[in-house]
Amino acid sequence: QVQLVESGGGLVQPGGSLRLSCAASGRTITTWTMGWFRQAPGKERKFVAAINWSGRTTYNADSVKGRFAISRDNAKNTVDLQMNSLKPEDTAVYYCATSRYVIPNGPNDYDYWGQGTQVTVSS
């Protein structure tokens, strides 16, 4: 089993920045894809970003392109999400997840999930 724990969430002003971190433990598999999703109250869970095992290929949702950046450190078993120029619509619970697939088709292709960390963007 793999355990994922997110941290770094909180309250931030519009235009501000936050850096989320996800720590993996247990039977970690370095070659698995890592991803970030977010879910606002009453909304569906949506894809934010993903990164392949080497860290050299990333994917970003159109809503966060140019503002968010995903990265990973396999030596530390962590994946981060740097969030800049935050907007109120970025408010959500952010989840990290890992998938056995090189190119996951959606949330159902992710095998393990963290508990989430709250990000609130408000003045």
Beta bridge partners of 4: 24
What does each of the 123 residues of the chain score in pLDDT, given as a tens digit? Answer: 899 999 999 999 999 999 999 999 988 777 899 999 999 999 999 999 999 988 999 999 999 999 999 999 999 999 999 999 999 999 999 999 999 998 898 899 999 999 999 999 999
pLDDT for position 13 = 98
pLDDT for position 31 = 85
* Other residues' Cβ atoms within 10 Å of the Cβ of residue 101: 11
pLDDT for position 29 = 76
pLDDT for position 27 = 83
